[in-house]
Amino acid sequence: MKKPKVAILGFGLVGRIAALMLHEQYQLSIFETAQTPDNNGAGALAAAMLAPMAESVICEVDIAALGVEAMALWPKLLAPLALPVMYQQTGTLIVAHQQDMGDLRSFEQRLKPLAGHQAQHVFSQEIAQLEPELAGRFHQGIYLPSEGQLDNQAFYKASFEHLKQTECQFYFGQSVEVQHDERSRAQVNGQVFDWIIDCRGIGAKKQLAGLRGVRGEVVRVYAPEVVLNRPVRLMHPRYPIYVAPKPNNEFVIGATEIESQDDGPITVRSTLELLSAAYTVHSGFAEARVMAIKAGLRPAFSDNRPQVSVKGNVISINGLYRHGYLLAPAVVKQALSKELL
Ligand SMILES: Cc1cc2nc3c(=O)[nH]c(=O)nc-3n(C[C@H](O)[C@H](O)[C@H](O)COP(=O)(O)OP(=O)(O)OC[C@H]3O[C@@H](n4cnc5c(N)ncnc54)[C@H](O)[C@@H]3O)c2cc1C
Please report which helix (H) or strand (E) contains residue 270, including its range.
Answer: helix 268-281
Instruction: Report how far ligand 1's centroid is from the alpha carbon of 33 (Å).
Output: 13
Asked whether the beta carbons of 267 and 235 are under 8 A apart, the reply is no
Instruction: Report how far ligand 1's centroid is from the alpha carbon of 44 (Å).
Output: 7
**Domain boundaries along the sequence of the chain:** 5-337
Quick one: the chain helix, strand, coil %, rounded to 5?
Answer: 35, 30, 40
CA pair distance 218, 295, nearest whole angstrom: 6
Is the pLDDT score of 252 beyond 90? Answer: yes
- pLDDT on residue 182: 64
Using DSSP, state whether 23 is helix, strand or coil: coil
CA pair distance 192, 118, nearest whole angstrom: 50
- Considering all CA atoms of the chain, what is the largest pairwise distance in Å, rounded to the nearest integer? 70
- pLDDT on residue 286: 96
Could you identify the atom of ligand 1 that is nearest to the CA of residue 11?
49
Q: Looking at the chain, how many residues does it have?
A: 341
Instruction: Report how far ligand 1's centroid is from the alpha carbon of 1 (Å).
Output: 35
- The pTM (predicted TM-score) of the whole model is 0.96
Q: Tell me what percent of the residues of the chain surpass a pLDDT of 70.
A: 99
- Exposure string for 197-212, b = 16+ CB within 10 A, e = fewer: bbbbbbbbbeebeebb
Question: Tens of pLDDT along 177-231?
Answer: 988 766 667 889 888 999 999 999 999 999 999 999 999 999 999 999 999 999 9
Instruction: Report how far ligand 1's centroid is from the alpha carbon of 226 (Å).
Output: 28
Asked whether the beta carbons of 170 and 28 are under 8 A apart, the reply is no
Is the pLDDT score of 93 beyond 80? Answer: yes
Q: Which fold has domain 5-337?
A: FAD/NAD(P)-binding domain (3.50.50)
Instruction: Give whole-number Cα distances, 148 to 47, 67, 129, 164, 304, in Å.
Output: 11, 11, 18, 28, 22
- pLDDT on residue 183: 66
What is the bridge-based pairing of β-strands 307-311 and 191-192? unpaired
Asked whether the beta carbons of 288 and 251 are under 8 A apart, the reply is yes
For atom 21 of ligand 1, which residue has the closest CA? 43
Mutation probe of ligand 1 site: the residue of 16, 20, 21, 40 with most atoms within 8 A of C-beta: 40
For atom 3 of ligand 1, which residue has the closest CA? 46
For atom 18 of ligand 1, which residue has the closest CA? 324
